[in-house]
Amino acid sequence: MSPVILILAVISVILAITMLFAKNPITSALCLLGVLLMTAGIYGLIGEHLIATIQLVVYAGAIMVLFIFSIMLLNLTTESEDHKKEPLLYVSAIALGGGVLTFIILALNEHFLKHPMDYSFGKFSPEVIAQLGGNSKVLSHALFSQFYVSFEVISLALLIAIVGAVVLAKRKFD
């Protein structure tokens, strides 16, 4: 593993932790932007230039502009004393989040123990990719034919997250 990739990963983790604990929503959004930029850098360094470009254009560009515009439009303010109003709710939310995180870690550990990563080329060797027309054509064909349901589910999840954020923000004003 390249030391530059390791540095980008460490910066990404620091930005992600800062994003979670920032009191200002603009600070959180800018930290998320930093995480997306670091992720694009990692993709670029491992040779996945199309995914790095998509990461920059779609997520770091369009989605983050939408998030920052929504935050500024809704004029979200921080409430630093929010958890002190309901300490039981705060503690139970942290316990539930920790339980979900533990479940995800255990499930991923079990999955990768049963199915170790195969680093062979599989059916898409560099020669086959060149014969089919290049990385972009192979990736787009797989994405929009074989994995189109997953692609649509992810876009629906993003839409639900945006609507949920707007609903929660509007509830504070009412």
Domains annotated for the chain, with CATH where assigned, are 1-78 (1.20.120.1200)
| Spans of the chain, pLDDT less than 50 | none
In this structure, the dihedral spanned by the alpha carbons of residues 164, 166, 169 and 174, taken in order and rounded to 10 degrees, is -100
DSSP type of residue 24: S
Prediction pTM value: 0.50
Phi and psi torsions of 154, nearest 5°: -65, -40
Q: What is the 3-state secondary structure (H, E, C) of 26-89?
A: HHHHHHHHHHHHHHHHHHHHCCCHHHHHHHHHHHHHHHHHHHHHHHHHHCCCCCCCHHHHCHHH
Distance CA 38, CA 42 (A): 6
**pLDDT at position 119, please?**
58
- At residue 11, the pLDDT reads 93
Give the pLDDT score at 172.
Answer: 62
